[in-house]
Structure 1
Amino acid sequence: MPAITFQSPNPLLMIIDLQNAIDHPRWGVRNNPDAEAQISRLLNAWRERQLPILHVKHMSTVPGSTYQIGTPGNDFKTVAMPLPGEPILEKDTNSAFIRTDLDARLRSQGITDIVIVGVITNNSVEATARMSGNLGYRTFVVSDATFTFNKVDFGGHERSAEEVHLMSLANMDGEYATVLDTAAVMQRLAG
């Protein structure tokens, strides 16, 4: 893997939809059980270096959604609870760029590099990463700090969460983002 370089001294860590909702049994079988530990590791590294962090929060108005506003599922998971002063971006669709001021926020802060972690790999992570890349940001998706769930494909076959995850990462890598793991990011931050 080529060396990871950030174009700017202030790469943004974007944590997508890491809320209690994702632990509901309705989601089914997931992959990458250590994702939260990797997210916590990255979050601590960003905080120690006083780099920009953005907590993205899904605000569902759909009745019965595990992310529905006003339910315990809408709360951030403890492992990625924002500290006072850390910005939160609320969204109501899969991409963090749709119907939000995200692009304006990033441009006003001079942010050119975005490191994405969180859930769901093939939903909000991929939608946000694709738009980020299309808007000209250097986008990095952290493979072991994201996860997804089993899914039935268009042919009616159930695909494992790991298969869905790997295909989503393949969709993003190269065209929209650079996919890497936590160790590679940590190595770059230490350099």
Structure 2
Amino acid sequence: MTENAIEIAPDSALIVIDVQKGFDDSSFWGPRDNPAAEGNIAALMDAWEESGRPLVLVRHASLRPGSVLAADSPGHAFKDVVAERAGRESLLVTKTVNSSFYGTPDLGEWLTAQGIRQLVVVGIQTNMCVETTARMAGNLGYEVLVPLDATHTFDLTGPGGLTLTAAQLAAATAVNLHGGGFARVVTTAELLTAAEAS
């Protein structure tokens, strides 16, 4: 193995975050990036199932009035790409905040009980729930892999009217996670090859 080779543990957990229909509402969210995200997520879910590795699905139940991700909204449902594979998961977590570690049931407790130390984090949004979960996992001592091409996000406006595109935000997430030592940023293809090899 080379120094940079990816090794996928036999019990590596794939954490699929918030791939929900509400994120298809462009009038609510605005422009997005990476139209290949859902296909890459599906490929990883299939690879994890085929190899018998654990799959964790995370779903956001927004408490904000009028949110397209509210529990009583049609947008709360998983997108078809995940819904078609639902029922195969080892754990289903519901959360109301960005981090998947603050949900029900408790993700950290479950991972500890299973002895899992490696996580692959994918889903929506790159710079929100994916990045927050990956940062927290890194702080908790997990080995974290983030295939950025299996995530997507939306343009966002911040202080003073500064707007960053989804692509700019995704690039910032990659630098934050990888450069900051929280996670290793990789590609879906690299993970699929590594998962098959191991």
Q: Does 1:93 align with 2:71?
A: no
**In 1: Cα distance, 2:169 partner to 2:175 partner:** 10
Work out which of the residue numbers 29, 54, 64 in structure 2 matches 1:27.
29
Work out which of the residue numbers 63, 75, 83 in structure 1 matches 2:86.
83
**In 2: Cα distance, 1:58 partner to 1:158 partner:** 25
Q: Deviations over 1:48-101 (max 9, x none)?
A: 111100000001122111100111100001101243252210111000112541
Greater helix percent: which structure? 2
Residue of structure 2 equivalent to 1:154: 159
Q: Deviations over 1:6-57 (max 9, x none)?
A: 3x32100000000001111210000001100000111111111111000000
The 1:155/1:3 distance shift into structure 2, 3 A limit, reads farther
**In 1: Cα distance, 2:186 partner to 2:35 partner:** 17
Read off the aligned partner of 1:94 and give its amino acid letter: N
User: Structure 1 regions of 5+ residues with no counterpart?
Assistant: none
Contact 1:121–1:169 (Cα < 8 Å) also in 2: no
SS of 1:89's partner is strand
Residue of structure 2 equivalent to 1:190: 196
Q: Does 1:103 align with 2:108?
A: yes
Q: Deviations over 1:110-159 (max 9, x none)?
A: 11100011010110001100000000000011110001111124342322
**In 1: Cα distance, 2:118 partner to 2:78 partner:** 24
**In 1: Cα distance, 2:194 partner to 2:60 partner:** 30
TM-score normalised by length of structure 2: 0.91
| 1:174-189 paired onto structure 2 within 5 Å | 174=179, 175-189=181-195
| 1:1-191 paired onto structure 2 within 5 Å | 2-6=4-8, 8-25=9-26, 26-81=28-83, 82-86=85-89, 87-100=91-104, 101-174=106-179, 175-191=181-197
**In 1: Cα distance, 2:107 partner to 2:75 partner:** 23
**In 2: Cα distance, 1:46 partner to 1:110 partner:** 17
SS of 2:150's partner is strand
Percent sequence identity is 39
User: Structure 2 regions of 5+ residues with no counterpart?
Assistant: none
**In 1: Cα distance, 2:169 partner to 2:103 partner:** 27
Q: Give the superposed CA RMSD.
A: 1.4
TM-score normalised by length of structure 1: 0.95
Give the stretch that moved more between structures: 138-147 or 169-178.
169-178
**Number of residue pairs matched by the alignment:** 190
Read off the aligned partner of 1:45 and give its amino acid letter: A
